[in-house]
């Protein structure tokens, strides 16, 4: 179908997967609206991507601000909610406040964007939500993250019915090398971690932001795909 001339709103668009997606879209002739919390990163992204890009500083956990932002953005063709978040720890160990904070950022943040973005979305448009491989391939210490990701996937399937004929899908990234890891691991630790990830995956390498962005492009372009949960995880087991 192609995305040339279409307007795409990307949350978490100033770095990582969101920025990789924005690069691909702009190269293909799309107009992108980047949403993020860090003004410096947003300014840098706009400077790199050029005139087909605008940016809006926004905390997606702020419901009123999200409503006002989408009223300001106006009509658009696609929404990609790539803003990320994580929380590690068992149910016993993890503070309830930290678990709630993850739901606020990763679940409710996407929910807010859909709720207030959908009225401005083109009838032939689509939405791509972000969950994660932990939802169906759990590991100890990720119970809250697994629950959030599963909730997002259930939301996507139901929204595909509620917002039809607009399409709604979710992308499920695996172990992807993005700036998010810098908050948890030193550069040396990251290299060791991803070397181990690569050794354990059938594809023999770790994932990149571009791998996930390419999959998002498919979901945006394919007019016969809705209610799908697309794994991009290198065969993670």
What phi and psi, each to the nearest 5 degrees, are found at residue 32?
A: -120, 145
The pLDDT value given to residue 1: 57
Residue 87 is predicted with a pLDDT of 84
pLDDT by residue, tens only, the chain of 237 residues: 589 999 999 999 999 999 999 999 999 999 999 999 999 999 999 999 998 999 999 999 999 999 999 999 999 999 999 977 788 889 999 999 999 999 999 999 999 999 999 999 999 999 999 999 888 887 888 899 999 999 999 999 999 999 999 999 999 998 888 777 666 777 787 788 878 888 889 999 888 999 999 999 999 999 999 999 999 999 887
**β partners of residue 10:** 34, 80
224: domain CATH number? Answer: 3.40.50.720
Is 237 within the bounds of a domain? no
Cβ 10 vs Cβ 26: under 8 Å: no
In a domain, 40, yes or no: yes
CA dihedral (149, 158, 101, 42) positive or negative:
positive
In sequence order, what DSSP letters do the residues of 120-164 get, joined into one string? GEEEEEEEEEE--GGGTS--TT-HHHHHHHHHHHHHHHHHHHHTT
In the chain, the number of structural domains is: 1
Q: Is residue 2 part of a domain?
A: no
| Residue 191 located in a structural domain | yes
DSSP 179-227: GGGGGTS-HHHHHHHHHHHHHHSTTSS-EEHHHHHHHHHHHHH-TT--S
Range of the domain at 48: 7-231
* Any domain includes 119: yes
Within a domain: residue 236?
no
């Amino acid at each position: 179908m192609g995305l040339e001339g279409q307007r795409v709103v990307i949350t978490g668009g100033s770095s990582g997967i969101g920025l990789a997606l924005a690069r691909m879209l702009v190269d293909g002739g799309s107009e992108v609206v980047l949403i993020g919390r860090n003004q410096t990163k947003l300014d840098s992204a706009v400077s790199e991507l050029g005139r087909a890009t605008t940016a809006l500083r926004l905390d997606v956990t702020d419901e009123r601000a999200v409503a006002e932002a989408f009223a300001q953005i106006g009509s658009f063709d696609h929404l990609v909610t790539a803003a990320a978040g994580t929380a590690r720890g068992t149910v016993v160990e993890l503070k309830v406040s930290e678990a709630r904070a993850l739901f606020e950022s990763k679940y409710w943040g996407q929910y807010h964007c859909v709720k207030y973005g959908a009225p401005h979305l083109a009838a032939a448009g689509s939405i791509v939500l972000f969950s994660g491989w932990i939802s169906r391939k759990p590991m100890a210490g990720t119970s809250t993250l697994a629950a959030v990701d599963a909730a997002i996937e259930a939301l996507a399937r139901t929204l595909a019915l509620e917002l039809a004929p607009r399409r709604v899908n979710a992308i499920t990234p695996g172990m992807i090398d993005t700036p998010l890891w810098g908050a948890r691991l030193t550069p040396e630790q990251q290299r060791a971690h991803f070397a181990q990830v690569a050794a354990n995956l059938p594809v023999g390498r770790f994932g990149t932001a571009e791998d996930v962005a390419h999959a998002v492009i498919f979901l945006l372009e394919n007019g016969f795909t809705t209610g799908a949960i697309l794994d991009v995880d290198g065969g993670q087991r």
